[in-house]
Amino acid sequence: MNRSSIYQRVRTPLSLLATASVAAALIATAVAPAHADRTTSAPDSEKKPTVVLVHGAFADSTSWNGVIRRLRHEGYPVVAAANPLRGLNNDASYLKEVLAGIDGPVVLAGHSYGGSVISDAAHDADNVKALVFVAAFIPEKGESAVELSGKFPGSTLGDALRSVPVTLPDGSRDADLTIEPSKFHQQFAADVPRNTTDLMSVTQRPITNAALADDASEPGWKNIPSWAVVATQDRNIPAQAQIFMAQRAHAHITRVRASHAVSVSHPADVAGVIEAAARTVR
């Protein structure tokens, strides 16, 4: 109803006051905090865990968009965290703060380097009830992403990288790594339409060399049930390495014939694994 039609219906100051009260209530509902639906809608027995999604290197949170649409359609609250990609300890500390701000149980999913981050952040995070590793690193304490990616043959990432010197906030020098745009499609997302990967190559987030070389701390997967999506056509993290890490973590393994960008090319498969993990959370 537009403003003029509302005014036409007003006959007394009392009815005007009532109309204003209703409008104020509608406005208050429209601008309510995003978390309000988690606390006021479903009974406790029907509430679903919050799914927190953590992207990896050479990507951003939009790489989860297809997965997010499916999870939200099924009623899951979703948070797509912005991974700083500056260093494993710092990135995990940031994610711990994100997790601490979420009420109720969490299913924590990470892609690629994001797997290292979620494993570190989940340690001693009481609300994390399940971990999902999507074409991801699942490191043991003391292992780095660089070490694990070279554990088995098949990664061609090194030849596709571009390095730019950077100064970090603490004044130390490092290098920011990105994938050469001309090589991005083939290296990162060969099963994604090229018009999409052209955009992804431009919006990719750089990661520091130090972050990929940092040693993991105590892993969360040792005490938290885990699931793994293995991308069998991955050119960043060889499938053999993904399977080795997933088996070591006693994860429930789902193999998908996909590139490293499996959350983009096969969002239904990835969402299905996340939902399977979520259904175990009570």
CB 88 within 8 A of CB 80: no
> Looking at residue 282, what is its pLDDT?
84
CB 107 within 8 A of CB 281: yes
The CA distance from 276 to 282, in Å, is 13
> Looking at residue 123, what is its pLDDT?
96
DSSP, residue by residue, 229-265 = EEETT-SSS-HHHHHHHHHHTTPEEEEE---S-HHHH
> Looking at residue 10, what is its pLDDT?
33
- The CA–CA distances, whole Å, from 258 to 56, 80, 172 equal 17, 22, 38
Those residues with Cβ within 8 angstroms of residue 186's Cβ, 6 or more apart along the chain or in another chain: 235
The CA distance from 39 to 104, in Å, is 10
Give Cα 231 to chain centroid, integer Å: 16
> Looking at residue 71, what is its pLDDT?
98
Entry pTM: 0.84
Structure-block tokens of residue 25: 């209530």
Q: Which amino acid is at 43?
A: P
**If we measure between CA atoms, which residue out of 239, 231, 240, 238 comes closest to residue 260?**
231
Average pLDDT for consecutive 10-residue bins of the chain (282 residues)?
35 34 34 35 68 98 98 98 97 98 97 98 96 98 96 96 93 96 98 98 97 97 98 98 98 98 98 98 90
Show the beta-strand stretches assigned E in 3-149. Answer: 50-54, 78-81, 106-111, 128-134
> Looking at residue 270, what is its pLDDT?
98
The CA distance from 282 to 278, in Å, is 9
> Looking at residue 168, what is its pLDDT?
86
